[in-house]
Chains A and B, each alone.
Chain A
C-alpha cells in the first residue's frame, strides 16, 4: 500500500467522499447503538434530528448557537491566518460580555436606547480588542509565546467575571446576576431583539443577520484587502514579510486587536441577544470549540458557518437522545463523536490518495 499527496480533487468527488463518510458513520453508529443500548438506531437518529429541527423554537435555538459559534470562529480567523495561536477567545468573549452587562445594568433607561447599544457594542469591541492586543504586543516586542499568554488571559477574564457577578448579584445571595432588565421600566432594554420587535426569534434573527454580515466582511478582509494580504505573508514567513517592507510587529498587534475585538463582540451577542445575563459560563467553552471550527474551515468564514452548524446540530441532537431515551450524555456523545470522527477522517482521503501496489510476482 502506498500513500501519496493529492494535487487536488474535483468538487463533486470531494462532496461524494464526505457524503460517504456520513453514511458510514451512521452505519457504525447504528451498530454501536444496537450493541450498547439495544435501541432501534432509526429511532435514535429521528430523535437526534428532532432535537435540532423538531420545532420552530428549536430551529431558532440552533441558528442562534451556530451563529455565535461562527462569530467566534470569524474572530479567530485573522489570528490563525497569521499563525498566531489565539486560544484566548474565551476570555476575549467574557470581557466583551462584562462591558455589555455593565451598560445594561447601570445605564438602561438613563440614556437613549440607541446610545446604550452604541456604548455596549463599542466597549465590548474595545475590551475584547485589548484582551487580544496585549498578547500581540508582547509577542511583537519580546517574542513571548502567544499560546500560553492568551490562555492565561482567559483565567484573568474568568476571575474578573466572578468579581462582577458578585458585585452585580441579583437577587442578593443568589451568586448570579440573573436576567438583566427583566421587568419594570427598563424591561428588555438592551436586548437586541427588542429594538424593533419582540420575541426570541427577533433576537436570534438579529444575531444571524449580524454574523452573516461579519462573515462576508471577514472573507473580503482576508482575501481582498491589503491588510489581509499582509497577514497571510506574515503567517507564512516573517522574514519574507520584513523583506517586503511589512512591519511585522504592527501586523501582529493590529491583527490581534481585530481578532480580540470580534470575539469581544461575540460576548456582546451572548449577553445582549441570548442569555441577557453574565456568568463565568457565558463563553461556555465555545472559545475553544471555535478553534476547531476555524481550523476545519481553513479560515473561510462561510465554511465556518457550515461547520458550526454541524457541531451545533450534534450537540443538540446528543442532548435530545439523552432526554428521549433516558440515556446518560456519554452514550449520545459517543454517537455524535463517531459522526464527527468520520467527517474529519474524510479530509484525509481528500488530501491523500491511497494506492495498492500490484501483487508481487
Chain B
C-alpha cells in the first residue's frame, strides 16, 4: 500500500556557520497515507530538517522530491504551493481575529473580497470530514491551546495541504485532547494525506504512527515500522546506547511540613479568580505533583508562592524553617524580600524566556541571575558564575559552543532547560518548584531531570512538580494535587492512584459524576 512517495529527501546537509552541522546527509522518505514519527534527542536536527521542507531554511546540499518530482523550496510560499503545511510549536495566529479570519489571512480572495460565509462553510466542511471541533466565528483570544492548534491545522488544510508536518503538537495538550488529535490524524491518513509528527513522547509514537524515523546528532540512524518497535528499542536507537526507562521512587524517611498554603486566592488583571481558595501542604522529602488541564491555575500557584504574583487578602503561604524552629509568611513579600529573609526558594517557571532566563545573555550571565548579588562591592563577581556554569554544563551534559559568549536563546530547547534547572538546583534550595520541567525535552534528558528532582527530594527538599504527562506524574510523585478551574479537586497518593482517577479529577471537581 505504501507505494506512492509524498516526499523524498536525498542526502540533505544543512550547516549553521562553519562549525555546526545540523543535518548531515540525511535521506528521508514519506509515503502517502502514512503517519511518520520523527524521533531524536534535543538538538538532533529534527526541526531543522522539517524547516527545510516548509521553506524556512534552504539546504546546503542535497535534493528534495515532492510527489516524485524534484523541487526547490525557497520560501514558505513555495512549500504551500507544493501542498506542504507545517504546524509549529508556537502558534502564529492573530488574537483579535476569528478562526475563519485567521484561516484566510494572507490568501488572495476573489477581487479582494472576503466572503466570510463561504469561508465558514468551507471550514465546517473540513472540520466534519476529519472530525475537528471548531467554531469558525470564535475569536482566537477566547480559545484554549488545543483550539488554537485546531485552527492552525485547519488553516493548512484549507490551503490545500496534502503533506502535514506537526512539530511537537502534543506538548501542550491534555491526554484527552491528544487522543482527539490522534483521531483527526488517523482520519487524515485515511484520506490519503501524508503526515510527519515530531514528538518526544514514545507512547504517542507507538500509538499513532505507522513508521518511525530516528535522527541522532544530525544523522539519519534508520527507520522501523512502529509495529516492530518498543519504547526501549526506540530509546536505544535514539540515544545510541541502552538506557534505563525506570523512575526510582524511594521514600524519604523524614517528611516534615515545609510550605503550608491556606486559602490562597489569586486574581488576574481583569479581576477573574485564577486560583480560588487553594490549601495544601508541601512536605520536605517528597515530590508533590500538581496535575491539571493547562491553565487551571498552576502558573498562578507557583508564581504566588515565589512572590512574583500578588495574592488576595486572606491568603497565606507559611514557610517552615528546616529545623522547625519558626515559620515565615510569604504572602505580601516580593522575591527580593523572600531572598533577604533567607528563604531558599528555587523556581523553574513555565515560560523559560518570558521568566527565568534572559535570552540575549550567555549561559554564565544567566547563571548569574541568582547569584549576582554576591560580594559587597558594587561590581559583579564573574568568576563564580563562570565556574558554576562550567559545572552545570559538565554535570548535565549541556551542548553549547561556549559559556560566556553565545546567547542562550541560540541553544536548543533541551539545553536551555538544563541550564535553568541546573541553576535552580545549584542554589541548594529548601523548596524547589518546577513547571513543566521536561516540556520539549527528549527522553534521555527528561530522565536526567527526574533523577535530579528525586535526588533533591532525598536531600530533604520540598519539591513541587507541575506536570502534564500523567504517566510521569504517577511514576515520579509521592502525592499529586489535582487542580480544576483554579480549585483543588483533590490530593491523591501517587503510589495508589490511576491515570483515570486523576484524569477525571482534572475535568471535574472531586472527580465524581
Nearest-neighbour CB distance to chain A for B228, whole angstroms, equals 39
| A357-B63 Cα distance, complex, nearest whole Å | 13
Query: Are A240 and B358 in contact, with the CB atoms below 8 A?
Result: yes
> Which of A22-30, A130-138, A225-233 lies on the face that meets chain B?
A225-233
Query: Are A243 and B335 in contact, with the CB atoms below 8 A?
Result: yes
B335's nearest neighbour on chain A, judged by CB, is: A245
A38 adjacent to chain B (CB < 8 Å): no
Query: What residues on A are CB-neighbors of B74 within 8 Å?
Result: 2, 357
A351 adjacent to chain B (CB < 8 Å): no
Known contacts A245-B334, A245-B336, A355-B58; is-contact A240 B378 (Cβ 8 Å) = no
A12 adjacent to chain B (CB < 8 Å): no
Query: What residues on A are CB-neighbors of B16 within 8 Å?
Result: 7
A360's nearest neighbour on chain B, judged by CB, is: B72
Query: Are A232 and B358 in contact, with the CB atoms below 8 A?
Result: yes
Contact with B along A218-246 (1 / 0, CB 8 A): 00000011111110110011011011111
Looking at B16, B354, B358, B368, the one whose CB has the most chain A CB atoms below 10 A away is B358
Query: What residues on B are CB-neighbors of A239 within 8 Å?
Result: 308, 354-355
A to B contact number (C-beta, < 8 Å):
79
Query: Are B58 and A247 in contact, with the CB atoms below 8 A?
Result: no
Known contacts A225-B380, A226-B380, A357-B58; is-contact A240 B17 (Cβ 8 Å) = no
| A355-B354 Cα distance, complex, nearest whole Å | 33
Query: Are A236 and B380 in contact, with the CB atoms below 8 A?
Result: no
Looking at B20, B356, B379, the one whose CB has the most chain A CB atoms below 10 A away is B379
B220 adjacent to chain A (CB < 8 Å): no
The listed residue (A225, A229, A246, A360) touching B336 by CB distance below 8 A is A246
The listed residue (A227, A237, A245, A357) touching B378 by CB distance below 8 A is A227
A243's nearest neighbour on chain B, judged by CB, is: B355
Query: Are A233 and B72 in contact, with the CB atoms below 8 A?
Result: no
Query: Are A232 and B361 in contact, with the CB atoms below 8 A?
Result: yes
Query: Are B372 and A226 in contact, with the CB atoms below 8 A?
Result: yes
Query: Are A8 and B17 in contact, with the CB atoms below 8 A?
Result: yes
Query: What residues on B are CB-neighbors of A242 within 8 Å?
Result: 308, 334-335, 355
| A246-B370 Cα distance, complex, nearest whole Å | 10
Nearest-neighbour CB distance to chain A for B350, whole angstroms, equals 11
| A227-B377 Cα distance, complex, nearest whole Å | 11
Known contacts A236-B360, A245-B339, A247-B336; is-contact A229 B372 (Cβ 8 Å) = yes
Query: What residues on A are CB-neighbors of B57 within 8 Å?
Result: 4
| A245-B368 Cα distance, complex, nearest whole Å | 13
| A130-B266 Cα distance, complex, nearest whole Å | 37
Task: Please give the number of chain B residues whose Cβ is less than 8 angstroms from any Cβ of chain A in the complex.
Answer: 35
Nearest-neighbour CB distance to chain A for B349, whole angstroms, equals 7
- Range for the number of chain A residues in contact with chain B: 20 to 34
A7's nearest neighbour on chain B, judged by CB, is: B17
Query: What residues on B are CB-neighbors of A357 within 8 Å?
Result: 58, 72, 74
Nearest-neighbour CB distance to chain A for B424, whole angstroms, equals 11
Nearest-neighbour CB distance to chain A for B335, whole angstroms, equals 4
B359 adjacent to chain A (CB < 8 Å): yes
B50 adjacent to chain A (CB < 8 Å): no
> Which A residues from 178 to 233 make CB contacts under 8 A with B?
224-230, 232-233
B195 adjacent to chain A (CB < 8 Å): no
Nearest-neighbour CB distance to chain A for B57, whole angstroms, equals 8
The listed residue (A224, A233, A355) touching B369 by CB distance below 8 A is A233
Query: What residues on B are CB-neighbors of A8 within 8 Å?
Result: 17
Query: What residues on B are CB-neighbors of A243 within 8 Å?
Result: 306, 308, 335, 347, 349, 355-356
Q: Which residues of B contact A (CB under 8 A)?
A: 16-17, 20, 57-58, 72, 74, 306, 308, 334-336, 338-339, 347, 349, 353-361, 365, 368-370, 372-373, 378-380, 382
What 17 new A-B contacts, CB under 8 Å, besides A236-B359, A240-B369, A357-B74?
A: A8-B17, A227-B378, A229-B372, A232-B361, A233-B369, A237-B353, A237-B354, A237-B355, A239-B308, A240-B356, A240-B357, A242-B308, A243-B335, A245-B336, A245-B338, A355-B58, A360-B72
Q: Could you show 15 A-B contacts with beta carbons less than 8 Å apart? A: A2-B58, A226-B379, A229-B380, A232-B361, A233-B361, A233-B369, A236-B358, A240-B353, A240-B354, A242-B335, A242-B355, A243-B355, A246-B336, A247-B334, A357-B58
Closest 8 CB pairs of A and B: A7-B17, A245-B336, A245-B335, A239-B355, A236-B358, A244-B369, A243-B355, A245-B339
